[in-house]
């Protein structure tokens, strides 16, 4: 049965790219370790509280992004379902809220391209369910937040 994610469409896509000063296997490992992932993942100013982390094909990571806004703690529930994991090459996941009928769930593909100098180009592609939803997430800062997440990965790797 075909889904809306079977056909890639540029008007539904957001692409983020980061050059990392580390080998592809080290960058990939930072995605596969649930403890590491919770340390670096997410926009600046938000922490991660993991509830379940089974990072393998068919597994899922259920977590809250937690932050304080105007003196109040706010939680943003998230769920990643890992669809495909090719070691040191690619991770494909569906990303949304824990609601199984989340209409805003989107597909994420992360690729790891090792360079001749030992650095890695990480490319994160998001495919949203519609052009309208893509515009909404860009409007609330998803590109900036995604780049902050990749900056967090770089800083974590540099430690």
pLDDT of the chain along its 159 residues, tens only? 556 666 667 899 999 999 999 999 999 999 999 999 999 999 999 999 999 999 999 999 999 999 998 999 999 999 999 999 999 999 999 999 999 999 999 999 999 999 999 999 999 999 999 999 999 999 999 999 999 999 999 999 999
Q: What is the DSSP letter of 141?
A: T
pTM of the model: 0.92
- What structural domains does the chain harbor? 10-158 (3.30.530.20)
136, HSE (Cβ side, Cα atoms, 13 Å): 8
CA 116 – CA 102 distance, rounded (Å): 41
Q: Can you tell me which residue has the tokens 């806004």?
A: 69
Maximum distance among all Cα pairs of the chain, rounded to whole angstroms: 48
Q: What is the DSSP letter of 99?
A: -
């Amino acid at each position: 049965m075909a889904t809306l994610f079977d056909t890639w469409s540029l008007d539904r896509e957001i692409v983020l790219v980061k050059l990392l000063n580390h080998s592809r296997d080290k960058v990939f490992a930072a995605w596969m370790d649930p403890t590491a992932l919770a340390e670096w993942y997410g926009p600046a100013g938000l922490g991660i509280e993991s509830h379940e982390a089974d990072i393998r094909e068919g597994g899922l990571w259920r977590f809250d992004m937690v932050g304080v806004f105007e003196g109040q703690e706010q939680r943003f529930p998230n769920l990643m379902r890992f669809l495909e994991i090719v070691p040191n090459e690619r991770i494909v996941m569906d990303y949304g809220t824990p609601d199984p009928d989340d209409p805003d769930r989107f597909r994420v593909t992360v690729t790891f391209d090792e360079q001749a100098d030992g650095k890695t180009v990480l490319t994160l592609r998001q495919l949203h369910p519609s052009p309208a939803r893509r515009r909404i997430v860009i409007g609330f800062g998803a590109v900036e937040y995604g780049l902050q997440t990749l900056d967090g990965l770089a800083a974590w790797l540099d430690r």
